Structure 1
Amino acid sequence: MKKKLLAAFLLSTALVSAGCGDDHPEEEGVDAEACEHLQEGPASAVTATLGTDAAPAIRADHRRYDVTLADGPDGKQGAVSFAADEAADYVIYTNADVDLSITTASGVAVEIEESASSSEGCADIKGRHVVPLTVGTHYLTFGPTSAATVGVLIEESHDEHHGHEH
């Protein structure tokens, strides 16, 4: 029985991946890919900082970052840095429903265009935030929350997404 379920899962995953950018809107393909990385990794562990000084860097590199949050005055929280190498919309996924705020390196708040605490095709996506970023370093601050660790994945949202991987 397990083999049949696994085969069905692998087939459905292959169909979702194959359909990415064909019949489905691009975001569904990005969500499916994000779901896979949130569930299976690869993963890197980083420890967030209180405040943005020496915040560890995370990247949009098809990798889940397991961010350990620090004890703040109102609960667990912490910051990481992200260097956007091109001006684009980025989708920031989390596997826990935590507050997210983003600032530029100079401390200017970046508006999150769209936020959701779920994704239709993936129960592991608990946060999905679409953010237009300019080239340069940005700080992502998570919390305050009761979660000690949050899995974070960043994907570029635009249609050329699959063109970079060759």
Structure 2
Amino acid sequence: MKNKLLSAVLLSASLLVSACGDDAEESTGDEEGCEHLQEGPAVSVTAAVSGTGPAVSNDHKRYDIALVDVTGGKGGAVSFAVAEATDYVLFTSAPVPVKVTNGSGATVEFEESTNSSTLCSDIQGRHIVPLTVGTHTLTFGPSTLSSVSLVIEESGEHDHDHE
């Protein structure tokens, strides 16, 4: 009886450890990002042609961003005030180009970027970006689309010491 209990405990522990391992890269919050893309709650904003634009946040909301006329099509900018330096995942509802710049205007390179998720077909863009404390600008476009939905999540619920 003790051996069966020990086996069950070890099996459970190994499943928990593996759930935080390799799958973390694919899941990177895809479940939560998908849920908010599908169900909201939603906040509508209109992107700015120039400057930092209206504020968006990682507050478990979907931001429905109306894109404006820019060179080459539709696009625009929104601002994201970062309170904690860590990796963030930008989930978009469409494969609209997105660029992130920091407060001094320098481009912040994505650690990973894809236009799909095996867990959710509503995710048409998933961009993992390391951000420092301060306000960043997210610039969308140019695109042929007139809007894009955005959900921002911290990368994983496990803090892997990004300080």
Residue by residue over 1:11-62, the C-alpha shift from the partner in whole angstroms, topping out at 9 and shown as x without a partner, is xxxxxxxx99973634526101110110111000000001125x10000011
Task: Report if the CA contact (8 A) 1:102-1:140 is conserved.
Answer: yes
Q: Is 1:132 matched with 2:123?
A: no
Aligned to 2:57: 59
Percent identity of paired positions between Structure 1 and Structure 2 = 52
**Equivalent residues, number:** 142
Q: Distance in 2 between matches of 1:108 and 1:156?
A: 21
**Secondary structure of residue in 2 paired with 1:109:** coil
- Kept in 1, the 8 Å contact 2:75–2:140? The answer is yes
TM-score (norm 1): 0.80
Aligned to 2:46: 47
Name structure 1 gaps, 5 residues minimum.
1-18, 162-166
Change (3 A) 1:121 1:75: same
Q: Judging changes above 3 Å, is the alpha-carbon distance between structure 1 residues 20 and 147 closer, same or farther for their aligned structure 2 residues? A: farther
Counterparts of 2:17 and 2:50 in 1: how far apart (Å)?
A: 39
Q: CA deviation at 1:138?
A: 0.1
Query: Which letter maps to 1:105?
Result: G
Structure 1 pair 110–29 and aligned structure 2 pair: CA distance change class (3 A): closer
- d(CA) in 1 for partners of 2:57 and 2:119? 24
**2:22 paired with 1:23:** no
In structure 1, distance between residues paired with 2:107 and 2:73 = 22
Give the aligned partner of residue 15 of structure 1: none
Cα pair 2:110 2:128 within 8 Å, conserved = yes
Provide the C-alpha distance between the structure 2 equivalents of 1:111 and 1:99, rounded to a whole number of angstroms.
13
Structure 2: stretches of 5+ with no match in the other structure: 1-14
